[in-house]
Amino acid sequence: MNIKIIAVGKLKEKYTKTAVDEFTKRLGSYCSLSLTEIPAQEIKDENLAKKYMEIEGEKILAAIKPNSYVITLEIQGTMLSSEDFSQKIKQLSNEGYNEIVFIIGGANGLAPRVSARADFKLSMSKMTFTHQLVRIFLYEQIYRAFKIINNENYHR
């Protein structure tokens, strides 16, 4: 299974990089994992935030293969338990999807075209988190999902 994460912005804090690196290492035995970081558009004028979101959206869409299964992370998406999330990944693998793409938007949000491209919209919470924290949460949940799928000790 190929897992691709497309994220707007770079990790800035050392602790976030350390956490993501650790889960990337752990995931190596379960899947092929890649990361595409889209440069965040610096908001110089709040009136242009929608334009910046569209620019980021174009870059996100350009990084997606046509046959990939796309999961966007959106507050208004569907919330899943860890067990349900693992079943979703297993189901997609069983259906023959070679690549699952997870998309994490930036401070401007996701462009409507990116949201429309989603095959599934996932919400981690009704709360708003920084994209850096969401990235850690996503990596951990993907790792947890593979542990559950393989009936390995980690999930409780």
**Full-prediction pTM beyond 0.75?**
yes
Distance CA 124, CA 86 (A): 14
What are the start-end ranges of the H helices in 2-130? 14-27, 49-62, 82-94, 112-117
Burial of 12 (0-12, 13-18, 19+ CB in 10 A): exposed
Statement: residue 143 has pLDDT above 90: yes
For 97, left (φ over 0), alpha (ψ -120 to 50), or beta? beta
Task: Identify the three-state secondary structure at position 115.
Answer: helix
Per residue in 83-127, pLDDT (tens digit) is 999 999 999 999 999 999 999 998 888 999 999 999 999 999 999
Domains of the chain (ranges plus CATH)?
2-149 (3.40.1280.10)
d(CA 93, CA 119): 14
Query: 152 and 24 in contact (C-beta within 8 Å)?
Result: no
Average confidence (pLDDT) over 66-86: 97
